[in-house]
Amino acid sequence: MKLVTRAEWGAQPPKQPWTYVAGTQGVKVHYEGDPVPADLVSHHEWCAGRMRGIQAAHMADTSQGWIDIAYTAVACPHGYVFEGRGLHHETGANGNQPLNLAHYAVCGMVGNSGLTQPSDDMLNGLRDAIEWLQQQGGAGPEIKGHRDGYPTDCPGGPLYAWVQRGAPRPGGGGGSRGGAAAPPWPGEYLRLQSPLLNDDNVRTWQQRMAERGWPISVDGWYGAESQSICEQFQQDCTAHGWPLTVDGIVGEQTWNAAWQRPVS
C-alpha cells in the first residue's frame, strides 16, 4: 500500500483526542460529493493539498462539530492512501454515532462533477485501505456505501456500483493490480465515419482494448474492425451487469468502462 501518513501530508492535529474503537463490522465507502477537478488525474502533487483542504473544511464545519477530517482514509486517483483518522479511531463520516462506531470510512477523491469516475489506481488504493483496516484495524468483512442505511447520494453512482460488485480489484482475478489510471474521456466520439477517423484518441482506446485481450489492431484508425469490437464490448458489458448502449460508438461511458470494468 502506498500510504501517505498524516505527517507527510501536513495534517493538523485533532481538536480533541480521537475515540478509540477496537474494531468495526466493516468499512463504508464515500466520495467527496463536491466538484473535483477533472485534471486532478494528472496532478498527484495536488493531492496532499486537497487533503489539507478537506481537513480544514471539516474542522471548520460547526454544524458537524468534527474534531478532525471525518474519514478514516482517502484514496487519490494515483493509488495513494492518505491516512485520515487512521486505525482504531472512530470515524465521523457515516452520518451519526452508531453508524460511525459500526464502520470505518474510506473516501475516493471523486466528486459529483468534474472527476466522477474512479481510476483503476484509485480502486486499488481503496482496496488497499480496506484490507489495511481489516488486517490491522479490526474491521470486519462488510463493505458498504455511505448510502446504505443513511439518506445520501454518497458514494456516487460509479463507486457504489463497485461496492455492490464486492469492491473488487480492477483487472479481475488474483488480486493483481490494474493498469494505469483511466485517462479522461477526450470529449470526441469515436465512431465509424467518412472519411475514417484517425487520431491518438482512437489509438489510446485501441491500445486499452488490446490490453484487455480483444483482437484489435492498434493503428489509430476507427474502421469496421474497431466498430465491431466496440459493439461486442458494449454487449459483453451489458450482459455482465455494466449496461452500455450498444451502438459501436465510443462515448464517455464506453471509454470509461474500457479502463474501469474488471476484465472478464
Looking at beta carbons only, is 6 or 212 nearer to Zn ion? 6
Least distance between Zn ion and beta carbon 41 (Å): 9
> Does 88 help bind Zn ion (rule: CB under 5 A)?
no
Q: Is 60 exposed, middle or buried (0-12, 13-18, 19+ CB in 10 A)?
A: exposed
The residues facing 250 across adjacent strands are 190
**List 76, 81, 110, 209, residue binding Zn ion (CB under 5 A):** 76
- Choose among 197, 187, 184, 205: nearest CA to 258: 205
Return the residue of 4, 21, 41, 47 that touches Zn ion, per CB under 5 A. Answer: 47
Q: How many CB atoms lie within 10 A of CB 189?
A: 17
Residue span binding Zn ion (CB under 5 A) among the ranges 38-46, 177-185, 192-200, 241-249: 38-46
Strand, coil or helix: what is 74?
Answer: strand
For residue 73, give the nearest of 153, 162, 150, 11 by alpha carbon.
11
Span near Zn ion by CB under 5 A; candidates 77-85, 119-127, 128-136, 196-204: 77-85
Choices 39-47, 64-72, 115-123, 127-135 (CB under 5 A): range interacting with Zn ion: 39-47
Separation of alpha carbons 108 and 75, rounded Å: 5
Instruction: Say how many CA atoms lie within 13 Å of 164 toward its Cβ.
Output: 11
Q: Hey, which residues between 128 and 147 contact Zn ion (CB under 5 A)?
A: 146
CA dist 221 and 169 (Å) reads 31
Residue 4 vs 202, nearer CB to Zn ion: 4
Look up residue 86 and give its DSSP letter.
-
Among 6, 50, 78, 85, binds Zn ion (CB under 5 A): 78
**Distance linking the first and last C-alpha atoms of the chain:** 25
Binding mask 194-233 for Zn ion (x = CB under 5 A): ----------------------------------------
- Candidates 1, 3, 18, 44; binder of Zn ion (CB under 5 A) is 44
Nearer to Zn ion among residue 44 and residue 191 (C-beta): 44
State the nearest-atom distance from the C-beta of 162 to Zn ion, in Å: 14
- Please report, as ranges, the residues that interact with Zn ion according to CB under 5 A: 30, 44, 47, 76, 78, 146, 154
